[in-house]
Structure 1
Amino acid sequence: MKRPPPHNWLFVFKIIVESGSITEASERLNVSQSAVSQQIKSLEDYLGARLIVRGKKGISLTDVGKHYYNVIKVALEKISATTDQLFGSGHTDIVTIKSNYSFADTWLSGKIHEFHKLYPDTQVELYSGLWLTDFGEIGRGIEIRYGDGTWSDAKCYQLTQDNIFPVCSPATHSAINRLEDIFDHPLVSVMGNKTGWQEWSSEHQRSLHIKASNLHVESNLLAYKAAASGNYIALGINSLVDGFLDDGSLVRLEYGDMKSRENFFIVEPEYYSISPKEMQFAEWMKSEFKPVK
């Protein structure tokens, strides 16, 4: 394996590309143009490939230069962000958690005091959202996501191994004596969930005609609250709905369950390093759930 070139050569290459010219790069770096030219020449000689082409209007990148720049840019920015986070002005003891809304409400809000018993001096900022895009402006931290775990931008650790089954209020339960009765009631579905009524019915080889859901909501928590207060029937996910079953506001309908195609994951994004305190929180979270095989 070829050893990486010196860091300063890579940094100069990045600045040249972002400046658009050798002259502008030399001004930004506060060194002579000849020094900048020598650095990029040394990098190209080391790699055995041309990265930039000089022209009257500045520089342009070769095909391999474009690809190499994209890789170098991400790597250098990650190093810079991590250095600042751990040792510079970005260093902080605050743990930033970005969580799926339903998970934050039904699990984290009732458990986070146990973390603070272990680490009483750690500050935690907890943000919740329905979609991944809801966290765009929050910055760094760790995330708790609901999905299939195939995110290319992160390292994922599966927390739950969920099953799905029908649930309803005690009053509605008294009116259901057979499977067919479920579909005489209004159904509630959660937008974005990959496992819904059609999948549940197919799993159990039911030949029943599945009517369209009467109510579509953005979160599992809203679905359970609607079912608890009305005559809707929802599909419960055990890691979220167990609290409703325990307090009696919802009842499980024993007509079969199925493995969910989605679960909850704790996520450590690849493009920056989480802080030691956030790592501590992540390890506490993992310890709260049995390892998923």
Structure 2
Amino acid sequence: MARLPPVAWLQAFEAAGRTLSFTRAGEELAVTQSAISQRIRLLEARLGQELFIRHARSLTLTEAGRAWLPSVQDAFDRLAHGTAEIFGPEPDAPVTIRATPAIQQFWLAPRLQSFHRQQPDTPLRVVTGVWADDFIGEDVDMEIRYGAGDWPHLVQQSLGTDALTAVCAPSIAETLDTPAALAGHTLLHTAGFAVGWPAWLEAAGLTDLATRHLWCDTQSMALRLAAQGTGIALAHRGLIGDRSMLVAPFELACPAREQFILTRPERRSLRAPAEQLWDHLVATIE
């Protein structure tokens, strides 16, 4: 295998090839324009080919330079992603947790509040996501996912088994004395859940009940519509939240086949503040 040129030369080529300017490349890399020019000349001498055509006031890449630039950029991207995968965000970056809007609002928010009271100097960042495939290239320390837990290479901590129950605005709950009273009402569905209204109605013995339907792609939206009186949603009992906005009119609950799970990459060691947040969240699981 041919010996690779020094990384500083490759950085100079990538920055200059992307910006087509030795001056702007120098500004990016915090060196002078002449330093970039010197590194490019040394690189061209090592490779035995010119990479740039120097014009009076501009640069263009040679055919070889245009062909090689994507490979160099891909190599730097791979290095950045691999570094992030193993070592995570920068040491002084905010502790970042990713979760869906519903889990943020009803489960995570009060726990972050208590953690912030205990550790007020720890910077925190909450980002919204719907269970990305992995953490590669992401400055995310941990994530709350929903599913069966069949994700390889992740450390996983279940937030506990749960069941789905019907919830609605208090004004609607007053009209619902039995599950059969759902006839004629709007059922709010959340896409992506393995257990939904068909399973709940089957458990209630009401498979032929005549109802209206409205589908949402997030549970947060379904619960918001339910709180506004639009219809009745299915919610995890641990996510009902403020009982003045949403109430459960029936005792019946249908066991969920999936669960909320706190996850983090197996190969990545948590930074000290991130580990403190992880331990805090785990300690609150009932």
TM-score (norm 1): 0.64
SS of aligned partner of 1:216: strand
User: Which residue number in structure 1 is paired with residue 260 of structure 2?
Assistant: 264
Cα pair distance change 1:182/1:125, threshold 3 Å: same
Per-residue deviation at 1:231?
Answer: 4.2
User: Which residue number in structure 2 is paired with residue 285 of structure 1?
Assistant: 281
User: Which residue number in structure 1 is paired with residue 141 of structure 2?
Assistant: 141
Letter in 2 for 1:108: L
Per-residue deviation at 1:274?
Answer: 2.4
Cα pair distance change 1:211/1:118, threshold 3 Å: same
1: CA distance, partners of 2:136 / 2:182 = 40
Q: 1:186–1:232: 8 Å Cα contact kept in structure 2? A: yes
Matched, 1:181 2:169: no
Per-residue deviation at 1:120?
Answer: 2.1
Per-residue deviation at 1:271?
Answer: 4.3
Letter in 2 for 1:244: D
**How many aligned positions are there?**
215
User: Which residue number in structure 2 is paired with residue 230 of structure 1?
Assistant: 229
Cα pair distance change 1:212/1:193, threshold 3 Å: farther
Among residues 246, 249, 256, which one is paired with 1:253 in the alignment?
Answer: 249
User: Which residue number in structure 1 is paired with residue 242 of structure 2?
Assistant: 244
Q: 1:142–1:267: 8 Å Cα contact kept in structure 2? A: yes
2: CA distance, partners of 1:263 / 1:174 = 30
Per-residue deviation at 1:190?
Answer: 0.5
Flag as ranges the 4+ runs of structure 1 deviating above 4 A.
76-86, 133-137, 210-213
User: Which residue number in structure 1 is paired with residue 57 of structure 2?
Assistant: none
Cα pair distance change 1:210/1:148, threshold 3 Å: farther
TM-score (norm 2): 0.65
Unaligned runs of 5+ in 2: 8-78
Per-residue deviation at 1:202?
Answer: 2.8
Could you tell which deviates more after superposition, 256-265 or 135-144?
Answer: 135-144
Q: 1:98–1:135: 8 Å Cα contact kept in structure 2? A: no
Q: How does 1:1-293 map to 2 (within 5 A)?
A: 22-23=1-2, 26-28=3-5, 80-81=83-84, 90-92=90-92, 94-132=94-132, 138-204=138-204, 206-209=205-208, 214-241=213-240, 243-245=241-243, 248-290=244-286
Cα pair distance change 1:272/1:181, threshold 3 Å: same
2: CA distance, partners of 1:106 / 1:170 = 18
2: CA distance, partners of 1:135 / 1:228 = 34
User: Which residue number in structure 2 is paired with residue 17 of structure 1?
Assistant: none
Letter in 1 for 2:170: P
Per-residue deviation at 1:264?
Answer: 1.6
Q: 2:169–2:226: 8 Å Cα contact kept in structure 1? A: yes
Q: 2:165–2:252: 8 Å Cα contact kept in structure 1? A: yes
1:91-138 CA-partner distances (Å, limit 9, x unpaired): 225211112221112232233121122222211111122342698864
SS of aligned partner of 1:251: coil
